[in-house]
Structure formats: C-alpha cells, structure tokens
Amino acid sequence: MEATATDLVSTVASAENVRAAVEDVCALLLRQGAVAGFEWWTENDDGRSLHLELSAGITTGARARIELDPVGQLVLVGESAVELASTIGTLRPFLRRRWSEERLAEHASRLARRAEALDDFAALVAHDVKSSLVTALRDEDPRAGLTRALELVDSILEAVRVDQAATGVAQLADCVQRAIADLGDTRIEIVASVTGEFPIPPDALRLVLRNLLANAVAAGAERIHVSALAEGDQRMLVVDDDGVGLSSGDRYATGAQLGLRLCRRLVERCGGKLELRRRAARGTRAVIVAAAAGT
C-alpha cells in the first residue's frame, strides 16, 4: 500500500528530530517502492552552497527536486518521483515547525548554560577576589594582592568566554605548546610528551593547562612534565612538578593558587574532572580525566 500524505505527516510527527523525520520519510518511500532512491541536501554554513547530507538507493534516472526550506532540498529518483513531489510538499509546514522547535530548544539550552556559567563564575569572583583584596589590605605593600585579584578577574572573564564557546576536541601537542607559550619567559624546564586528541574543547584545555603550569611555577618547581595516557574509555592528561607539593588539604602548600577552583569548575563543565595528588618523591601531580570521544 502506498504511503499517503497522512502517513508521511504522521512519520514526521513521531520522529525524534528533523534529521530522523527526513530519514524515516525517505526510508518509507524506498520500502514501499515509491522511489528508487533519494538524496537529501542541506545548506553549508556559508549559506551559498549545498552539502549532501544523506543518500540511498539508486540516484540516477528521473529526478524531482523538492525545496523543504529551511530543512534543505530533497531529490527523489524514480518514475513516480514527479508525481510524489506535491505529496512531499505537504510536509513543508510540519518540517519547518520541527526545525524551529529544535532551534528554539538549542537556543534555550545555550542560554541556560550561559546563565549557569555566570552563576558559577560569579561565586568564584565573590570568594577568591574578596580573599585577595582582604589579604592585600592587611599587607604593608598591597600591590601583590591587588595584582593577584586582577589576575583572577581576568582568568574568570576568560573562563566565562571559553565556557560559552566550548566546542571541539583539543589537539594535545598544539594545546600544550600554546599553554607553555602563555607563561612567557621562564627558566623552568617543561617537558611535554603528548600526541593525539583530548576530549575537551581546545580553548578550555589551554586555559586549564596554563593555570596548572602557573601554579607549579608559583610552587617553586624546577621541572614540569606533561604527559598523556589512556585507560579503557578514559583519557588522562598529567602535569607533574617537583615543587613544594600539597598542604594537608587538596591545595598547593605555597604559591598563588591561581584559578585552581576555576579550573576544576571548567573541567567539570566539559564533562571531566581535575584531581591533585602528592607525588611519592616531591611535588604535585595534577590529573585531568575525561571520557574518550564517542563513549
């Protein structure tokens, strides 16, 4: 039995999302022999060219091109393709509505994430910057404390920006080298033995690495080693230093503590975790743990 317009509308309505709706409609037409094949084209980011999103079956022969803006174009192949064009055209308002709903949901999710990020990082401003300013007021020379407070504000503002735009997967070698370069001139020996990818957005990972390296420098380290390893479905990035190590709590015994809580919060928001551990000999081990992409 051939699919009716009602069948196709029902298929669109019951699909999980727009992509699934187009796939299900085309699969139904193929399964019933209404078409020999199909192609689904969508706009590229430049808005001027098209990208082949999906194709199946025979894609040569009589063709009918159907505009499904803003979802793209559907090309049906087969003797009945032209006759089906008007039926498929009835799906336009339903696909447009699904597309609009998805865009609205994505926008709402981004706004919620941004509001959550601002709440999180505002708490860091209130705690860490206030602590720095109180310490500065007690010192005979308040300049160091004021400088630290300004550095924290800069780091927090950058973390908000990074968090809002956090996408992609970091290329480890490039990310580590950029973080080292961010430190500027330093006489500390920094050795990096990392390759491949790490499942945290590159800007976020660079910011976290930069702060971990800065903490190691502030803790008096003479040598820092950055390495990467995998255990099962987890990826780990390890920063070892030979500085003064940790105090009784999960904090460096000395140094600026620059952005440690900030880094933890940012890594957690990227789906990972940051741990500090005492090294057996001397110093601190910082470990960033994240699930491998696709797990």
pLDDT tens digits for 172-221?
999 899 888 877 777 889 999 998 999 988 888 888 898 888 888 888 88
Would you list the DSSP string of 149-163?
HHHHHHHHHHHHHHH
Q: Same domain for 123 and 218?
A: no
- Model confidence at 227: pLDDT above 90: yes
- pLDDT for the residue 114: 64
Give the pLDDT band (50/70/90) at residue 153: low
**Last residue in a domain, options 58, 90, 122:** 90
Q: Same domain for 198 and 267?
A: yes
Give the pLDDT band (50/70/90) at residue 38: very high
CA distance 41 to 71: 9
Establish if 268 belongs to a structural domain: yes
Q: Same domain for 140 and 122?
A: yes
Establish if 47 belongs to a structural domain: yes
The two structure tokens encoding residue 125: 């401003």
What are 77-119's pLDDT values in tens digits?
998 888 888 889 889 999 988 888 888 887 777 666 666 666 6
The 3-state DSSP composition of the chain as helix, strand, coil percent (nearest 5) reads 45, 25, 30
Establish if 99 belongs to a structural domain: no
Q: Same domain for 189 and 207?
A: yes
- Are 71 and 103 in contact by the 8 Å Cβ rule? The answer is no
CA distance 268 to 159: 13
Q: Same domain for 175 and 291?
A: yes
| Unique residue bearing structure tokens 């194709």 | 55
Establish if 131 belongs to a structural domain: yes
**Last residue in a domain, options 56, 90, 124:** 90
The two structure tokens encoding residue 71: 């979802």
Q: Same domain for 173 and 289?
A: yes
- pLDDT for the residue 256: 47
The two structure tokens encoding residue 119: 């709440």
The rounded mean pLDDT for the chain is: 81
The two structure tokens encoding residue 278: 């005492």
Q: Same domain for 179 and 57?
A: no
- pLDDT for the residue 255: 46
Average pLDDT rounded to a whole number, residues 144-167: 63
Q: Same domain for 173 and 254?
A: yes
- pLDDT for the residue 203: 81
Average pLDDT rounded to a whole number, residues 232-261: 73
**Last residue in a domain, options 134, 165, 196:** 165
Average pLDDT rounded to a whole number, residues 55-75: 90
- Model confidence at 237: pLDDT above 60: yes
Return the sign of the alpha-carbon dihedral for residues 236, 241, 246, 252: negative
CA distance 70 to 132: 52
- Model confidence at 140: pLDDT above 80: no
The domain containing residue 126 runs over which residues?
107-165
- Residue scoring higher pLDDT (126 or 273): 273
Q: Same domain for 222 and 119?
A: no
Tally of CB atoms within 10 A around 11: 22
Q: Same domain for 175 and 294?
A: yes
- pLDDT for the residue 245: 78
Report how many domains make up the chain.
Answer: 3
Q: Which of 92, 107, 115, 124 is nearest to 18 (CA)?
A: 92
Q: Same domain for 53 and 113?
A: no
Establish if 130 belongs to a structural domain: yes
Q: In what order do the strands lie in the sheet with 273-278?
A: 189-193, 223-231, 234-241, 284-291, 273-278
- pLDDT for the residue 37: 92
Q: Same domain for 221 and 139?
A: no
- Residue 144's SS3 state is helix
- pLDDT for the residue 217: 86
- Residue scoring higher pLDDT (76 or 162): 76
